[in-house]
Amino acid sequence: MKPNTIFLLISFIWAVSEIVFGRMKYAKSSGENSPDRRSLRLLWITITVAVSAGVFLGLQGIGFVPGVSRWAFPLGVGLILLGLLIRWSAVFTLRKYFTSNVSILPEHRLVQNGLYRFIRHPAYTGSLLSFLGLGIAFSNWLSTLVIFLPILTAFLYRIRVEEEALLQALGETYRDYCKSVKRLIPEVY
């Protein structure tokens, strides 16, 4: 199979999995007072614009770095796959507590097993790795920045929204967890 075909297939699987997660696990919420604070909408708009712009730049060759595509493409695809595996693992670990929008479910409890022993938001870490990989796969510094930085900013906002909701719902239990487990990168941040 040609590298471009593999890349398109992985991208298709990635997109379909996000659509399925979003459609199956959307919690009903109370509009303006929702704990999500429109972070899901912001995230999807940011992802759509950033990926479209980054792919356009990548296909046009604007920002292309000659001589790195031999290692950048497989590294990028590898990061996409690693990110997907991390995200899927996190979603399946949360099971019924995973929702695409920020919401607190009845009898919500803190999950601290699986990847959640090492980081508080492994699903977001996985997504961010995949988006970083997408930019790198183009062997393009500008695509990488245009894709990754806005999406990182949107995810950081979403994390703040989610952590405020979890602190309000779980109190000291979540506060203690935050003291011992980093957000996105084990032992770093």
User: Within a domain: residue 85?
Assistant: yes
**pLDDT grade, residue 29 (50/70/90)?**
low
Q: What is the domain range of residue 71? A: 38-98+113-189
For residue 1, the surrounding DSSP H or E stretch is none
User: Within a domain: residue 182?
Assistant: yes
User: Within a domain: residue 11?
Assistant: no
User: Within a domain: residue 55?
Assistant: yes
User: Within a domain: residue 188?
Assistant: yes
pLDDT in tens, 44-60: 999 999 999 999 998 89
Residues contacting 14, CB < 8 A, separation 6+: 80, 84, 130
Q: How many domains does the chain have?
A: 1
Identity at 35, one-letter amino acid code = P
Residue 27: pLDDT above 90?
Answer: no
User: Within a domain: residue 15?
Assistant: no
Average pLDDT over residues 140-151: 96
Answer whether 0.75 is exceeded by the pTM: yes
64: its two tokens: 């292309």
pLDDT in tens, 117-131: 999 999 999 999 999
User: Within a domain: residue 2?
Assistant: no
User: Within a domain: residue 105?
Assistant: no
Residues contacting 134, CB < 8 A, separation 6+: 11, 51, 54, 55, 76, 80, 147
The one-character DSSP state at 64 is: B
